[in-house]
Amino acid sequence: MGYENKKDADVAVESGMSSPIHVESGGQGKLRTSLKGRHMQMIAIGGSIGAGLFVGSGGALASGGPGSLVIDFIITGFMLLLTVNALGELAGSFFSYSVRFIDPAWGFAMGWNYAMNWLVVLPFELTTAGITITFWTDPQNTGNPSINVGVWITVFLVLIVLINIFGVRGYGEVEFILGLIKVIAVIGFIILGIVIDCGGVPTDNRGYIGAHYWHDPGAFANGFKGFCSVFVTASFAFGGTELVGLAAAEAENPRKTIPKATKQVFWRISLFYIISLFLLGLIVPHDSNGLSASAGSGDTRYSPFVLSFQLAGIKALPSIFNAVITLSVISVANSCTFGSTRTIQALCEKGMGPRWGAKIDKKGRPWVVLIVVLLFGCLAYINEASNGSTIFTWLLSLSGLSNFFTWGSICLAHIRFRKAWARAGRTTDDLPFAAMFGVWGSWIGLTLNILCLIAQFYVALFPIGGSPDAKAFFESYLAVPVVIAFFVGYKLWYQQWHLGVKVSEMNVDEGRREIDLDAFRAELDAERAEKATWPWYKRQWDFWM
Span 88-127, pLDDT tens digits: 888 767 788 899 999 999 999 999 999 998 898 888 888 8
Question: Which of 333 and 299 is assigned the larger pLDDT?
Answer: 333
Angle (CA) 164 266 297, round 5°:
55
Mean pLDDT of 376-405: 80
Residue 292: its pLDDT value, please?
Answer: 60
Average pLDDT, the chain: 81
Residues 6+ apart with CB under 8 A from 7: none
A 10 A CB-CB count for 540 gives: 11
Using CB atoms within 10 Å of the CB of residue 227, give its burial: 0 to 12 exposed, 13 to 18 middle, 19+ buried.
buried
DSSP 498-514: S-S--GGG--TTTTBPP
Question: Above 70 in pLDDT, residue 2?
Answer: no
Q: Which of 45, 21, 43, 16 is nearest to 32 (CA)?
A: 21
Residue 210: its pLDDT value, please?
Answer: 93
Q: Domain 18-495 in CATH: superfamily?
A: Amino acid/polyamine transporter I (1.20.1740.10)
Query: For residue 202, what pLDDT band results from cuts at 50, 70 and 90?
Result: confident
Query: For residue 487, what pLDDT band results from cuts at 50, 70 and 90?
Result: very high
Residue 342: its pLDDT value, please?
Answer: 83
Secondary structure (3-state) at 251? strand
User: Within the chain, what is the greatest distance between any pair of CA atoms?
Assistant: 74
Q: Which of 172, 162, 159, 170 is nearest to 130 (CA)?
A: 159
Residue 9: its pLDDT value, please?
Answer: 36
Residue 300: its pLDDT value, please?
Answer: 56
Query: For residue 61, what pLDDT band results from cuts at 50, 70 and 90?
Result: very high
Are the C-beta atoms of residues 525 and 438 closer than 8 Å to each other?
no
Residues 6+ apart with CB under 8 A from 544: 263, 266
Q: Which tens digits make up the pLDDT trace of 156-201?
A: 999 999 888 877 777 778 888 888 888 889 899 999 999 999 999 9
Q: Which of 511, 531, 250 is nearest to 364 (CA)?
A: 250
Q: Domain residues of the chain, as ranges? A: 1-16+513-545, 18-495
Residue 409: its pLDDT value, please?
Answer: 95
